Amino acid sequence: MKTLFSFDIDFRKAWVPVFIFLIMGYMVYHMIEGDRGWLAYLRLNREVARLSLQLDELRSRERVLQRRVGLLRPDNLDPDLLEERARDVLGLMKRNEIVIFLPDNPSYAQE
């Protein structure tokens, strides 16, 4: 009796397609999950975006510091900033003054 589908597979002829299929599966797996695969690419893109934001923040902080340093140069000396730095470094204050210490990187000092 003949069936609609015959399962008489000659394994000597089927090993090549099976081997190729296994190699393709291996390649696809490593293309997605490998060290240089698609998921690693996405992970690196997220890292680049995070580091770009951090770089922008550091550059803006550098601009603020450069502006403050520029105000302390002898040819462009700001008396208020000089007095502020002298009081901070020397720890001096007048008799009727109240000193309020702020964090090192206050948000109002940003441009």
Query: What DSSP letter does each residue of 28-68 carry, written as one string?
Result: HHHHHHSTTSHHHHHHHHHHHHHHHHHHHHHHHHHHHHHHH
Tokens linked to 37: 């695969």
Tokens linked to 67: 């502006």
pLDDT tens per residue across all 111 residues of the chain: 555 666 666 677 778 888 999 999 999 999 999 889 999 999 999 999 999 999 999 999 999 999 888 887 888 888 888 888 888 788 777 788 887 777 776 555 554
- Distance between CA atoms of residues 73 and 76, nearest Å: 5
Beta carbons of 42 and 32 less than 8 angstroms apart:
no
